[in-house]
Amino acid sequence: MTQLSNYHQNQTTTASWRLTSGYLHQGYTDFESAHILLGRFLVDRTSVNPLCEKELFAPDGIFEWGYGKPLEKVINSRADFEFLLLHPNLLRKSIIIIEPWSHVGINTLGEQVRASLNVAYIAQKVADMDSILFPVWSTGTIDPELVAGVISSSYAVVVEGGDPSVYDASTWTSPVCPREDMFALVEKLLLSRSPTSAPAIFICVGHQLAAQCHIRLIQRAVKQVLATTFIERDSEDKAFRSLQEVAERIATMGKTLQVKKRDGRIVAGDWNDEHFAVTRNESKEVGERVLLPYQSPDGKVVEIPWELIHAHDVTSDAHEGVIDTTIQYEREVSTSMFHSDEVNEEAILFANWAYRSIHDAIVPYRHIIASSPLSWLIQLPDSVEILCSTAVDGEIVTECSATCINYKDFETKKIRRSFTCQFHPELLSDLRAIGNRAAPSYLTLKVDDGARLFVRLLYAGMQD
């Protein structure tokens, strides 16, 4: 029986959902205790599990969504989502996992890898954090604006990977969740990072969806600004002229920036190309990879405008992206790659430059823009930084293996962060979903670089 058919057979109802947070120590889990336990996990690689060793698998050895506790919380319908609205504490004390697809790929054993199971297992095993699954490939996105606003009250939102290609609408074959619906949901998530919201972690296809949505949001911003003829209460037109000038520069850059691969192929002619943000990688990456610090391209060698490279260097110096710091200070960091497509370096350098330009244009006039139809621009990220790359035999294969999305508060100047990664930190080196393999112990997770990195992203994001 396939994983997909198992999923449909084992759908639970909200009547079986736990209304008290935690499973290993039910009723004791809240934000503070979860955060402390995440930190305890990261403090070393040898300390014992502070939680009880209660079995997370069902008595018959099954660990599968919808098959009893602790995986009973699956949003299978709009009614299930509305149940969460009536029980907001469930949301506040859970991780929300969004599945764009029923699996993230097929491993060498021929197994469909449902990596969301690993996210739920690690969170529960390490910090007794419950998870709620939102399988949009089966349920649909319901209402992206409502969903994004509601789930942002959780501990964290994890957007998992999947099989389709972001640049090819025909590969998104779910009748209830076409590609445009995923774009709409991810755009709302990118605009929902507020001082009281959860961090988002976008993995694999989630990473690629975020990249495409950066470009879409910037294009929307440019289009709306250029279509604006005046801004109310902008008596000297300073805000208007500032945004217009920036929008024109961004549009000019977007229309002329090409994406060129290492072998010299031009895969995108400008920012309107379907392959501008994401395209097929030169070679498929499957298996364990060592993460390397990202190195800015040499402007004398590549045809990337110096403004984009310089803006990224400034972002990199000004912000701490967790993954880059981990690579710098810990021993060699390895994690699991499982992809054929990649996010283009040029697109993220462009997005960072555009976000910084828009943010700086808004700063002096934010009190005017805040009460105008352009107020949504204030929700855009301040910058996006490439954190690491991967290589095979000394040759870079994926330049943009992870990013940190920064949101700088206009008033407090505090930084909030979300993260994206092409790799799968939640998968162990065997690339198997938990449930198809033996349950890893707490100590096994403590020495696994990927699991540690995933926990570190949760830990850091929850602090912002």
Cα 2 to Cα 95, 110, 145, 184, 331: the distances in Å are 26, 11, 33, 30, 39
Query: Which of 218, 228, 261, 287 lies closest to 395 in space, CA to CA?
Result: 261
95-126: buried (b, 16+ CB within 10 Å) or exposed (e) per residue? Answer: bbbbbbbbbbbebeeebbbbbbbbbbbbbbbb
388-412: buried (b, 16+ CB within 10 Å) or exposed (e) per residue? Answer: bbbeeeeebbbbbbbbbbbbbeeee
Structure confidence at residue 385 (pLDDT): 97
Structure confidence at residue 73 (pLDDT): 97
Tokens of 366: 């934010």
Tokens of 53: 């060793």
* Ranges of the chain with pLDDT below 50: 1-8
Structure confidence at residue 208 (pLDDT): 97
End-to-end CA distance of the chain: 43
Per-residue pLDDT reduced to its tens digit, 6-33: 444 566 789 899 999 999 999 999 999 9
Question: For residue 195, how many C-alpha atoms fall within 13 Å in the half-sphere facing its CB?
Answer: 8
Please give the Cα distance from 175 to 171 (Å, whole number).
11
Phi, psi of 196, deg, nearest 5: -110, 10
Please give the Cα distance from 406 to 308 (Å, whole number).
17
Please give the Cα distance from 97 to 159 (Å, whole number).
6
Phi, psi of 324, deg, nearest 5: -65, -40
**Residue in the block written with tokens 């943010």:** 359
Structure confidence at residue 10 (pLDDT): 60
- The burial class, CB within 10 Å (0-12 / 13-18 / 19+), for 371 is exposed
Question: For residue 340, how many C-alpha atoms fall within 13 Å in the half-sphere facing its CB?
Answer: 10
Tokens of 166: 């972001």
The secondary element (H helix, E strand) that includes residue 398 is strand 395-408
Please give the Cα distance from 366 to 388 (Å, whole number).
33
Per-residue pLDDT reduced to its tens digit, 55-87: 999 999 999 999 999 999 999 999 999 999 999
Structure confidence at residue 57 (pLDDT): 95
Per-residue pLDDT reduced to its tens digit, 398-412: 999 999 999 999 999
**Residue in the block written with tokens 């961090």:** 199
299-311: buried (b, 16+ CB within 10 Å) or exposed (e) per residue? Answer: eeeeebbeebbeb
Please give the Cα distance from 147 to 135 (Å, whole number).
13
The secondary element (H helix, E strand) that includes residue 403 is strand 395-408
Beta strands per DSSP E along 151-264: 156-159, 200-203, 259-260
Per-residue pLDDT reduced to its tens digit, 265-280: 899 999 999 999 999 8
Tell me what percent of the chain is helix, strand and coil, each rounded to the nearest 5.
Answer: 40, 20, 40
Opening angle at CA 345, ends 303 and 244, nearest 5: 75
* CB contact set of 298 (below 8 Å; sequence gap of 6+): none
